[in-house]
Structure 1
Amino acid sequence: MDDKLITRREFLMALGGLTLIGIGSYPFIRPFLPGVAAPLVLSQIPTVSWNGSVKTFVFNIARGNVSLGDSRQFNGYLINDQFPGPTIRVREGDKVRITVNNHLDQPTTLHWHGVNVPSPMDGVPGVSQDPIEPGQSFTYEFIAGPSGTRWYHSHVFEMDQIPNGLFGALIIDPANGREPYPATREVTLMFSTWGYQSNPGLDYGMQTSGGMGQMMMGSGSMMSSSQGLIYLINGAVPSSLQPMTVQPGEKLRLRLINASASESYWLTLDTGNFLITHTDGNPLDNPVPVSDLYIAPAERYDIVVTPPKSGKWFLRSKINGQESVQMPFSTNGSVNAVPSSAPSWSYSNFSGGMGSLPRAAQHFQLTLGGGMMMGSNWTINGASYPNTTPLRVKKGDRVRIEMQNMSMMEHPMHLHGHSFEITSFNGRALSRPLVKDVVNLRPRERCTIDFLANNSGNWFFHCHNLQHMRSGLATVLEYVDYPLPYVDKWM
């Protein structure tokens, strides 16, 4: 889709005649999962109740000058004169009120990524709310939850507004104030990219380096097609950042947020390992030691790092072309260097073998395709949004979505309004399902995600490579008991 106002008129008006994409044959993983007869039970973070506290914020959104920490400057989007936007920090159970005053010459909204807000507060024009027009204001109100590393960003003209400044961190502390994995201190690192060109003649993002042949064989590595982009950490070029001083033995919690419109990062330390404690803000049962971490757009990981050596060291990306992505640290004291010995992070680390999945009340099968040699549009089951078939569910259902990526590029798929569990990956059930709101699928990869339909509304489900989303890789999850507003609005 182009960045222009379009309607969902035929799409929503025809809903009454549309049917579910049933999966009686369960083709992706059924051969690997015999005896699918487990009870209909899904562990789920409970709905957060209001604790009586109200936290109020005012966001003034306007254009303004941005310096990237070197000689480069540009006219960006600022929230309260900040690039990126200010960090919001609240406690789980707080009622959050954020009044957005739009001083731009174009509409905007804000989406509270990873927070299970009411549907009218979700920030997707044409799906859940009207856009905030120039000169207008809108107040978002929701109960903060679940706790963890969340973030917010625009959901209008996303390839322009987000990279140029309309995003920020949203940290929700646990209701009891006790973190499951305490650290000495913490730092939030937001990775983003700047310099996207309109009609660039290439598809920004990560693709298989071996072409179609290696993709079909399931081999080949990933490479970026995003030449010319400037990589930023917390809104500045990494070369301008001063080293963060840490003490020997100190446990440093890093909240990693990939706010890039298209780019993944493959992060590692110069030496040694680190612990992954949270995925998309949700705590793991036990921390996982890894030597490196692949983080796709919109994913978040909390990691705990102890100084791996004396002197200066870096958290850096291993992807060719991302040599500038390096966060500097400095150890204030002597540390014996420890070589890396842990495995790489992967969803497959949690594969439990030939297990079985519980029954689900609703099954949907989604094939992701298009793009590249298939044309400029990206598709779900052969259709591009807004012509994709909506996923219609009932409140209280356990819902299963199976996805397979048949394209040459990766797709980080994000579901609004719900936390889900990755229950199988590449045909193997996970012994410890991962609670997330983004699942990244590289070429030829497939997965299942399960979630409890416990938040009635209209919810966007889309690729968080924003160029792919704008080119059709999206659909809508709709509750049958929820009224369908915005019959003739735009996305």
Structure 2
Amino acid sequence: MLTRRQILKTGALMLAGGAVSAVFRKATAAEQASAVTQPPLAASTGDRYAPVVTLNGWSLPWAMEKGVKVFHLIAQPVKREFAPGMVVNCWGYNGSTPGPTIEAVEGDRIRILVSNHLPEHTTIHWHGIFLPNGMDGVGGLTQPHIKPGETYAYEFTLRQNGTYMYHPHADEMVQMALGMYGMFIVHPRKPDPVRIDRDYCFMLHNFAVHAGTATPDPSVMTDFNMWTFNSRVFPGIDALVARTGERVRVRVANLSMHEHPIHIHGTAFEVTGTDAGWIPPSARYRETTMLVPVGNIRVGEFIADAPGDWALHCHKSHHTMNAMGHEIANMLGVDHHDIARRIRKLVPGYMAMGETGMAEHAAHALVGHMPLPENTLPMMMGQGPFGPIEMGGMFTMIKIRDRQKPGDYTDPGWYQHPEGTVAVRLPGEPPKPIVQGFKPTPTPDNPPG
């Protein structure tokens, strides 16, 4: 049980610039200085496991105090670069959204200090973790709200291992809409029976950032226009990197307002866990699209057995776009060249869009030929080795290489395809379609025979 004396002692350490605060400042500076994913500080006291790599993020350091691991989270306004060219006014923890990943080991006694630097009260709920009721973090129900300027201490023993989250249970509509959430990983005390070579985690979320603005709109319920992995959109999302033959674990949490079918190219996930724990081996299943429901977690594992740059993305097509406009007229197939010409006399640079699709419009915006509102990204972004990738939002890549060194998370660049292994354009006239044996389905306008 956490005593008043322990709380006062920990508070004195914080005020004196003790180990917890000092470590926190160093980690925040390092994270802010680089957008490249780095292996985190180990959270174990000697147990063997693969530390988690948080895409575009970091793991929270801790200090040991008489057998208790002490962490410190600071709820505060933060600025987050979603991708180059767009910085958003968010709320988060320790200078980032998502907040730093908490890593600990099953059986650990942990104490998490939560300081509130927001303009309103907050709490933190430890999603999926079994703990005493008074540590569950539901404002008004299991504890008083943490008012601005206050620090609360949560202390409990970790009785399970797996993948979990933390997020507010106070003014959730605003606080979660602005980016307050983080991952909580509990490693098993005993070594994992299956060796995991690389362990990644990221959070799915949605934001409504109207064109030309920088602050998410918390009143939006469903019509979001920014879809993020760890509060980043493509091409601002780090790639997952692996060496050929390694076993890779991907932990995906969802605190957005939509379910997300996360699709992997070139291989298939073995679905091994949820936020309720690990799925027994006899009940695990394989699929290339792993559905992650709202408020839930899915863990997928695969063998990186095929070198290349493989896509990993949400399979809802609108979730791989940025800054979409809603409730606009459908212009597909409509010839509007004449009206566009007349509008350009009044609005130089105006470009009509949607007659033959969105690709040309997005390409013009991407290369700067079409002006966009300030702090607004094109719908489709990213250049690949063969041209525009035409994706945004919830999209990244898994880069598998034969020569990637174990433990090396640096981006290896674009894949160099062996000769003869890339689809090519055929010269000359297009071949005639093969119709032999084709039988159209009978309809009233096309009866049999």
TM-score, with structure 1 as normaliser: 0.50
CA gap of 1:330–1:62, structure 2 versus 1, over 3 A, is: same
Per the TM alignment, residue 180 of structure 1 is displaced from its structure 2 partner at its CA by 3.9
Corresponding residue number in structure 1 for 2:201:
188
Corresponding residue number in structure 2 for 1:365:
none
CA gap of 1:199–1:246, structure 2 versus 1, over 3 A, is: closer
Verify: 1:72 aligned to 2:141, yes or no: no
Corresponding residue number in structure 1 for 2:153:
139
Contact 1:93 1:175 in 2 (8 A): yes
Q: Report Cα offsets for 1:130-149 as digits up to 9, x if no partner.
A: 11011111101111231100
Amino acid at match of 1:279: T
Decide which of 385, 395, 401 is 1:332's aligned counterpart: 401
Which is strand-richer, 1 or 2? 1
Corresponding residue number in structure 2 for 1:273:
268
Amino acid at match of 2:280: D
Corresponding residue number in structure 2 for 1:197:
217
Corresponding residue number in structure 2 for 1:98:
112
Amino acid at match of 2:267: G
Corresponding residue number in structure 1 for 2:185:
171
* TM alignment of 1:291-440, pairs within 5 A: 291-307=288-304, 309-323=306-320, 324-333=393-402
Corresponding residue number in structure 2 for 1:251:
247
Of structures 1 and 2, the larger Rg is shown by 2
Distance in structure 2 (CA, Å) of the matches to 1:242 and 1:115: 28
Per the TM alignment, residue 238 of structure 1 is displaced from its structure 2 partner at its CA by 2.6
Amino acid at match of 2:192: E
Corresponding residue number in structure 2 for 1:395:
none
Q: Report Cα offsets for 1:407-434 as digits up to 9, x if no partner.
A: xxxxxxxxxxxxxxxxxxxxxxxxxxxx
Q: Considering only aligned residues, what root-mean-square deviation do their CA atoms show, in Å?
A: 2.3
Contact 2:78 2:90 in 1 (8 A): yes
Verify: 1:282 aligned to 2:277, yes or no: yes
CA gap of 1:76–1:198, structure 2 versus 1, over 3 A, is: closer
Unaligned runs of 5+ in 2: 1-65, 209-215, 321-392, 403-416, 422-449
Runs of 4+ in 1 over 6 A off after TM superposition: none
Which is helix-richer, 1 or 2? 2
Per the TM alignment, residue 155 of structure 1 is displaced from its structure 2 partner at its CA by 0.9
CA gap of 1:277–1:198, structure 2 versus 1, over 3 A, is: closer
Corresponding residue number in structure 1 for 2:229:
233
Distance in structure 1 (CA, Å) of the matches to 2:199 and 2:84: 26
Q: What's the secondary structure of 2:76's corresponding residue?
A: strand
* TM alignment of 1:87-166, pairs within 5 A: 87-166=101-180
Q: What's the secondary structure of 1:321's corresponding residue?
A: helix
Q: What's the secondary structure of 1:77's corresponding residue?
A: strand
Amino acid at match of 2:203: M
Contact 2:265 2:288 in 1 (8 A): no
Q: What's the secondary structure of 1:170's corresponding residue?
A: strand
Distance in structure 2 (CA, Å) of the matches to 1:242 and 1:198: 27
Contact 1:180 1:283 in 2 (8 A): no
Per the TM alignment, residue 257 of structure 1 is displaced from its structure 2 partner at its CA by 1.2
TM-score, with structure 2 as normaliser: 0.54
Distance in structure 2 (CA, Å) of the matches to 1:240 and 1:199: 26
Contact 2:78 2:96 in 1 (8 A): no
